[in-house]
Structure 1
Amino acid sequence: MSPEHGRELPYYKIKESFRDVIGRVHTRVMLTPGYLPDLCSDEIVQIRRGLTYMMEQSAYIPAQQAMFTADPRGEYSEEVRGYIEKFWSQIKGSGKIDSARASYDEAERKARKLIDVNTIQHTDAREAGAENVCLQAIRELQLDTFLRREGWSERKINSTLASLIIRTVYSPSEWAALRILDENSAAMELLTGQFGDCPTQREVYAAAPSLYALKDKLERHLCSRTDSLFNLTNRVMLFDLTNFYFEGSKTGSKKAKFGRSKEKRSDCRLLVLALAINTEGFIRYSSILAGNTADPDSLPAMVEGIISKNPVSTNPQQKVMVVIDAGIATEANLGLLKERGYNYLCVSRTKLKDYTLKEEGRSVTVFDSRKRPITIAQVEHREGGDFYLRITSPAKAMTEHSMNQQWRERFELELTKARNALTAKGGTKRYDKVVERVGRALGKYPSVSKYYQIDYIRSGENPEHMSDIRWQIKISQEETEQRFGTYFLRTNIATLDERTTWEYYNLIREIETSNRQLKTDLELRPIYHQTDNNSDAHLFFGLLSYWIVNTVRHKLKLQGITHYWTELKRILSTQKAITTKAENALGEQIELRICSDPTDAASELYRILGYNPIPFRRHTIKTAPPPPN
C-alpha cells in the first residue's frame, strides 16, 4: 500500500546478481527507486535490460557472462531511456559500481587461494638446514668478498662456494658432489636464488685447485677475519702433525711416502699435515709435507711460516707461547723456538732422575676430564736450565702398569719360543740366527726389553749352535712401579704456577679435537687423488671446510653447546626446501618453492649463532589454466 498514492503498488529495488569465477551466485541491492506508478511492467523490464547492458559496458561483467552483444536501448521509448540514464547515474554516484567490482575482485582473489587438495604434489625436496648455516658462516668469514677482490666472476664464486658447502656437509668426492648438488642439496639455490641451477662438472672439479692457488692469501684473510670476529689475541699456539693415508699405489708422487701412520695404516703411502692452531681451534699455519717427515723435522719450517704471517713481539710480556708434544720437543727444536722469540711448553722427552721437589711436600691437585685426581709439584730449578713440573696420575699409572705387564708377557713369550726352538726338530739353532730372532723381539718391545739381561749359551758340541737362552730383569719391582704414572712438563717461563701450566698444557687437546674433525667429521681420509697438486688441493679444501665448522662450533661453545659437527648436521637436517604444486579454484596451476621451518632444536642453534633461520622467501609461480577441450 502506497501512502502517497492511496493504493497498492509494486515497490522496486534494483539488485545486481552475478555468478563469480567459481560459480557462486552473489546478489546485492544497487538502488531503491521505490514506487513507479507511471510505468507498466514491460517498461520495467526494459529498464532492467538497459541497466544490465550499461553494467556490462562498464567492464565489470566478464565477456563470457555478458547477456547483450548490441545496445537494446534504441528500441525503447524516450521515457524509458530517461529512467535508464537517471538510475545509472544514481548508481554510479553512490559508488555501488566500484563496490561491486571490488566484490567481484575479492571473490576472484579468494578463488585463487582455494586449492584443490586432491591436486597437491610435493616435489624437488632438497636439504637446506646445514647448507644455510654453512653459507652464513662463509659470509661471516667474508670468503665471497675475498674472492671478488681477487677478480672472480659471480658465477665462479657461486659454483666454488657451493662445492665448498657440499664438501663441508657431505664430504664427498668431486664426482659424488656433482650429483649431490644436482639431486640432494639446495646449496647452489641458496647462493643464486634459482632452483635447478647446478654447477657444471668442470666448475666442481676446479673448485679445490682454484682455492689452493690462493692458499697463502686465503689463510691470511681468514686469520685476520676470525681475529676480528672473536677478538682473539693468539698468545698461545699449538703445534702438531698428523698424517693421511692414500688408497692406490701413488708411485709417481714425490710427497706420498711410506711412514709411521697414526691410523696404523703403514701399508699405505702417507701425506703429513703440519698444523699450528690457537686455543680457540682456528688455524694459524698449515703445511702439507712428505709422508716420511718425522715430527721433529717439521718444526723449523712451521716456525718460519708462523713468523712470516704472525711477526713475533719484542715485548717479553707479549711473547707467544708454543705448546708442543714430546715428539717435536727435541733440544734443537726447543733452542730454535727460544732463539726465534717464542716461549714453549711441552712434555719432557726424558724423565728426570736426580731431582728434588721445590718446597718439599707442597703440591697442587687437579682433575682430568673424568674427574680423576692428578698431582702437580714443582721441581727445584737449576740455574740456567728450564723449569719442570712433575705430574703424577694414579689413573695413568694403572694403565701403564697394565700395558707394561702385557708387553712383558709378550716379550718373554718370544724369548720362550726362541729357547724352545733350540731343542725342537727343525727349530732355529744357529747362534747368529737365534741372536737375530731375539733382536727382532728386542726391537718389537723396546719399552720393556731394555730392562732385561739376556745371556746366550753356545753349544759345547757345536760352537756354531746355541744350547740355551737365559734372561733376568735388571730393574726391581719397586723401581718399575715408580716409573708408572709420572711424567714431567717443561717450559722456559719462570712465572707460570702449577695450575696455570697444567691448564696451558691441556690446551693440546684442542688440536686433537681439530684432527678428529678433519679425519672423522670431514672425512679427509683416505685420499684417492693420484697427483701431488690434486692431493694438496684436496687437503686444503678440507681445511677450508674446517674453518667453517670451527667458526660455527666456536660460537656455540661460547654458549655452552659443545656438539661435534656430525650432531649439528643431524639437528639441521630436518630443514628442507621443497616445491609444492596444486590447482586452484580458477583452474590455474600454482607452484610454490618454500623452505620448511626449523625444529625447536635447530631454531635454538640459529638463535645462538645469530643466523637467519629461513634461507629464502617463498617463490610463487602461476600458470594459466589449461585450454578447454
Structure 2
Amino acid sequence: MNFTSQIRYNPQTCKDEKYYRLKESYRDASGRVCTLILLNVGFIHDLSPEQIRDVARGLTYLYNYQKDVQLWDEKLQGYSEVVRDRVHAYWARLVEEEKLDIVGNAYERSKSKARKRIDVDTMRHTDAREVGCEWLCLQTIRKLGLDTFLRSLGWSEDKVKVTLAHLITRAAYTPSELKSISIIKENSAVCELLDLPMAKITPRRIYRVADDLYSIKDKLEKYLCHKTDDLFKPTNRIMLFDLTNFYFEGRKTGSKKAAFGRSKEKRSDCKLLVLALCINTDGFIRYSAVLEGNTADPKSLPNMVDELIAENPAKCPDNEGVLVVIDAGISTEDNLKTIRDKGYNYLCVSRKALTEYTTPENAPKVTVCDCLKREITLQRVTTAKNDDCYLKIDSPAKALKEESMNRKFRERFEEGLKKIRKSTQSKHGIKNYGKVQNRIGALQGKYPSISRYYNIKVEDDGHDKVASMTWEVNIPDKVEYGTYFLRTNVKKLDEETTWNYYNLIREIECSNRQLKTDLSLRPIYHQTDNRADAHLFLGLLAYWIVNTVRHQMKVARRKQGKDEHGRERSTPYWSEIMRIMKTQKAVTTTAVNALGEAVETRLCSVPTDSAAEIYELLKISKVPFKKIKICRTQ
C-alpha cells in the first residue's frame, strides 16, 4: 500500500494543501498493473512525509500478516507511537468499510474481463453449417405436430429425430437418400437443432425413413388434413383435381406400375408414374394416389371421388355443395355424372367447343382482366344437349396466339408434306407406298390440330410405288380463335365468380411445379414400385412443409395490405425462400483469450433483412440456438 497526494483547497485553513489517498497496486489476471483507492484519508497536518511513508508500510505489514496478530507488534515495534496509532486507526477503517477484499474481488473481476479479451491473431472459424432453412422447416413441423403424431404411434425418440432430420433435409436441399447423408454430416446443422448425435445418421436408417412413413400414409394424410383444418380454418368449399406424371431414369423392368405414356415433360422415351392430387384452394392436399404410368386422365376420377368423400363431407358449413374444379382432360360425361351422383358440384372446361348454342336475351357481356391486364369477355350461353350452365370465354390475346400457332403449324405441316412428296420424286428417295403412308401418318400425329383440314391423296402405280401425291386444304372460313366454354352444374354462380373459381386451378398447377422443380421429384431413379411410391410420398410430406410456410406468408402479407405502388404483395416460390434462408449459418469460432485459455463459441449469424422478414411474417425466433462457450486451459 502507498499514499498518493493531490493539491486541493482546504476550507478549514483556506489554503491549498496536500490531500492524501491510500492506494493499493496489483497485477490483474492478464498481467497489467492496476491501482485501487482503499481510503480517502484527507488532509494530514500532524505527520511528516517520512511518517506517512511508515504508516503505508505498517498497513502493508498488517495486510500481509493479518492472520498472525502477534507478528503485527513485532513488525510495528520499529515505528513511533504516533505512527503505530495511525496505522491501527486506518486499519480499523479498512475493516469497517470492508476494503480488505476489494483487491481480491477486483482481481476476480479482471479474470472475467480477461477471459472475454480475445487475441484476434488466434481467431479461427470452423464447422460452418447452414441453419436458417432447417430452423424454418423444424418450426413448421412442430406447428403441424408431426413429431408428436409419430411418437403417438409408438415410434422411438431416435427414430422420430432421424425421420425429422431426413424430412427437413428433403425439404431444404431436395437430395436423394444417399446424398442426404453427406448433407446432414457436412453441410447442415439439423442434428444440432434436433439434439441428434451424428452417429445416429446411418445409410440404413435414412433409407428406411421413406418406407416407414409410406407404411402409415393413410393415417398421416388424414392427420395432416385435420391438423391444417384446425390451424387455418379452410372451408374446403372448392376442391382442385389434376394429374401429373414423373419419368424414370433406367429401364424399370421390374415395375408393374411404370409404363410408357404421354409425358408432360416431353420425356415419352422414359417410363412414367402418374400422381393424382386433389387440393383445396389454400394448396393443402386432400387426396393423393400414385397410379400407373399409362393411366388416362378420365380413369382416375372415380376413385378420387370415393376417397375424397371418405375424408370430406359433401356439404360445407353453409350447406353448399363442394365444388370440384377439373380440367378438360378429366371432364368426361361419365366422370361428371359420378360427381353429381356423389353429391358434389363440378366446374370444368368443356371437352368440346359448342357449335349449337343460344345466347339469352338478358345475358350481359362481362369484361374481366387476366393477370397481364388483358381484357377477356364472359357471356352465359345455353345448349339443348343438357341442363348445365355454360360460360363462353372470348380472349383476344388467346385468339392471336392460337391464330399464330395454327399458321405456324400449317406452314410446318405443308413443309413436311412437300418433303415427303419430293422424296417420292427423287432418285434415291422413299417411294414405297406403305412407307410413304407411314410418314404421312406420323406427320398428321405431330400436327393433329391442323392435319384434319387436309385431304391427302396418294396414288399407287400398281407396283407398290407412289405415282403421285396431292392434297387439298379445307379450312373453314370462320374459325373462332380464342373461344372456349366453361361448364358447371351450379345454377346461381354469376359470370365473374365462375371465371374466378376456374382460375383457382392454377393453384394445383403451382403445386405440381413446386413438386417437380423446387422439390426435385423428377426424375425417379428407384427401380421398384415400393421405393418409387415411398420416394414420391416423402416429397409430398416435404410439400406439406413448403405449403404451410407459403400459406402463412400469404396470409401475413394479405394483412399487410398493398405495397407502396398499390400492388398486391407476392409470396416467393420455395426455391427463393430456400435461397434467402440459407444465408443464415452456424459457425464455430476458436481463439485464445488474455488468460491463455482456448475459447470455443458456437454462434448463428444474424439473419439478412429478407430472412428476418420471413421470420417476422411466420412469428419464429430469429436465433435457432444460443451461443455455446467452452473454455479450457491450454
TM range (shorter): 0.7 to 0.9
* Residue 391 (structure 1) aligns with: 393
Residues 244 and 526, structure 1, Cα contact 8 Å, conserved in 2: yes
Whether 2:21 is the aligned partner of 1:18: answer no
**AA of the residue aligned to 2:500:** E
Correspondent of 1:538 among 535, 552, 572 = 535
For the structure 1 residues 466 and 44, does the alpha-carbon distance in structure 2 shift closer, same or farther, using more than 3 Å as the test?
Answer: closer
For the structure 1 residues 426 and 36, does the alpha-carbon distance in structure 2 shift closer, same or farther, using more than 3 Å as the test?
Answer: closer
Q: Deviations over 1:23-65 (max 9, x none)?
A: 222334545597689x99998698445413335x69xxxxxxx
* Residue 63 (structure 1) aligns with: none
Whether 2:470 is the aligned partner of 1:470: answer yes
Correspondent of 1:161 among 140, 143, 164 = 164
Distance in 2 of aligned mates of 1:78 and 1:314 = 103
**AA of the residue aligned to 1:184:** N
* Residue 181 (structure 2) aligns with: 178
**AA of the residue aligned to 2:603:** I
Correspondent of 2:107 among 99, 104, 118 = 104
Superposed displacement of residue 546, structure 1: 0.9
For the structure 1 residues 193 and 49, does the alpha-carbon distance in structure 2 shift closer, same or farther, using more than 3 Å as the test?
Answer: farther
Residues 456 and 469, structure 2, Cα contact 8 Å, conserved in 1: yes
Correspondent of 2:149 among 146, 150, 153 = 146
Distance in 1 of aligned mates of 2:532 and 2:519 = 15
* Residue 628 (structure 2) aligns with: 619
Q: Deviations over 1:250-281 (max 9, x none)?
A: 11111111111100111111111100011111
Look up the SS of the partner of 1:97 in the other structure. coil
Task: Report the count of equivalent residues.
Answer: 597
Residues 337 and 344, structure 1, Cα contact 8 Å, conserved in 2: yes
Look up the SS of the partner of 2:305 in the other structure. helix
Correspondent of 2:490 among 490, 493, 505 = 493
Superposed displacement of residue 564, structure 1: 0.9
Superposed displacement of residue 85, structure 1: 7.5
For the structure 1 residues 166 and 451, does the alpha-carbon distance in structure 2 shift closer, same or farther, using more than 3 Å as the test?
Answer: same
Superposed displacement of residue 193, structure 1: 8.0
Superposed displacement of residue 313, structure 1: 2.6
* Residue 194 (structure 2) aligns with: 191
Superposed displacement of residue 177, structure 1: 1.2
Residues 137 and 551, structure 1, Cα contact 8 Å, conserved in 2: yes
Superposed displacement of residue 315, structure 1: 8.7
* Residue 583 (structure 1) aligns with: 592
**AA of the residue aligned to 1:614:** V
Residues 279 and 508, structure 2, Cα contact 8 Å, conserved in 1: yes
Matches within 5 A, 1:205-216: 205-216=207-218
Superposed displacement of residue 373, structure 1: 1.4
Structure 1 unaligned residues grouped into runs of 5+: 1-9, 59-69
Distance in 2 of aligned mates of 1:297 and 1:383 = 24
For the structure 1 residues 47 and 494, does the alpha-carbon distance in structure 2 shift closer, same or farther, using more than 3 Å as the test?
Answer: same
* Residue 7 (structure 1) aligns with: none
Superposed displacement of residue 144, structure 1: 1.3
For the structure 1 residues 144 and 125, does the alpha-carbon distance in structure 2 shift closer, same or farther, using more than 3 Å as the test?
Answer: same
Question: Could you tell me the percent identity over the aligned residues?
Answer: 53
Whether 2:501 is the aligned partner of 1:511: answer no
Residues 61 and 75, structure 2, Cα contact 8 Å, conserved in 1: no
Residues 188 and 198, structure 1, Cα contact 8 Å, conserved in 2: no
* Residue 6 (structure 1) aligns with: none
Distance in 1 of aligned mates of 2:366 and 2:597 = 78
After alignment, is 273-282 or 179-188 more displaced?
179-188
* Residue 3 (structure 2) aligns with: none
Residues 316 and 322, structure 2, Cα contact 8 Å, conserved in 1: no
Distance in 1 of aligned mates of 2:366 and 2:153 = 54
* Residue 5 (structure 1) aligns with: none
Whether 2:344 is the aligned partner of 1:347: answer no
Matches within 5 A, 1:120-135: 120-135=123-138
* Residue 51 (structure 1) aligns with: 62
Matches within 5 A, 1:515-526: 515-526=512-523
**AA of the residue aligned to 2:311:** K
Residues 356 and 383, structure 2, Cα contact 8 Å, conserved in 1: no
**AA of the residue aligned to 2:505:** I
Distance in 2 of aligned mates of 1:444 and 1:140 = 50
Superposed displacement of residue 614, structure 1: 0.9
Look up the SS of the partner of 1:329 in the other structure. coil
Distance in 1 of aligned mates of 2:62 and 2:466 = 130
**AA of the residue aligned to 1:206:** R
For the structure 1 residues 12 and 600, does the alpha-carbon distance in structure 2 shift closer, same or farther, using more than 3 Å as the test?
Answer: closer
For the structure 1 residues 428 and 123, does the alpha-carbon distance in structure 2 shift closer, same or farther, using more than 3 Å as the test?
Answer: closer
* Residue 234 (structure 2) aligns with: 232
Distance in 1 of aligned mates of 2:384 and 2:523 = 48
Superposed displacement of residue 205, structure 1: 2.0
Look up the SS of the partner of 2:425 in the other structure. coil
**AA of the residue aligned to 2:33:** V
Distance in 2 of aligned mates of 1:451 and 1:85 = 123
Correspondent of 1:27 among 12, 32, 35 = 35
**AA of the residue aligned to 1:474:** N
Distance in 1 of aligned mates of 2:196 and 2:253 = 45
* Residue 438 (structure 1) aligns with: 440
Aligned CA RMSD, in angstroms, stands at 2.9
**AA of the residue aligned to 1:201:** P
Q: Deviations over 1:410-430 (max 9, x none)?
A: 332333333334433344445
Structure 2 unaligned residues grouped into runs of 5+: 1-17, 558-568
Look up the SS of the partner of 1:304 in the other structure. helix
Q: Deviations over 1:142-189 (max 9, x none)?
A: 111111211222222222111111111111111211111111111121
Whether 2:117 is the aligned partner of 1:114: answer yes
Residues 253 and 531, structure 1, Cα contact 8 Å, conserved in 2: yes
Superposed displacement of residue 200, structure 1: 2.6
Distance in 2 of aligned mates of 1:404 and 1:43 = 114
After alignment, is 611-620 or 435-444 more displaced?
435-444
Look up the SS of the partner of 2:123 in the other structure. strand
Superposed displacement of residue 588, structure 1: 1.4
Look up the SS of the partner of 2:240 in the other structure. strand
Distance in 2 of aligned mates of 1:232 and 1:361 = 33
Q: Deviations over 1:519-545 (max 9, x none)?
A: 111111111112211111111111111
Q: Deviations over 1:299-342 (max 9, x none)?
A: 11211211122232399942110000111111111111111111
Superposed displacement of residue 127, structure 1: 0.8
For the structure 1 residues 94 and 377, does the alpha-carbon distance in structure 2 shift closer, same or farther, using more than 3 Å as the test?
Answer: same
After alignment, is 424-433 or 115-124 more displaced?
424-433
For the structure 1 residues 46 and 132, does the alpha-carbon distance in structure 2 shift closer, same or farther, using more than 3 Å as the test?
Answer: closer
* Residue 451 (structure 1) aligns with: 453
Distance in 2 of aligned mates of 1:169 and 1:71 = 76
**AA of the residue aligned to 2:203:** Q
* Residue 295 (structure 1) aligns with: 297
Superposed displacement of residue 432, structure 1: 4.4
**AA of the residue aligned to 2:501:** Y
Distance in 1 of aligned mates of 2:592 and 2:233 = 54
Q: Deviations over 1:579-603 (max 9, x none)?
A: 1111111111111111111112211
Matches within 5 A, 1:401-412: 401-412=403-414
Whether 2:372 is the aligned partner of 1:370: answer yes
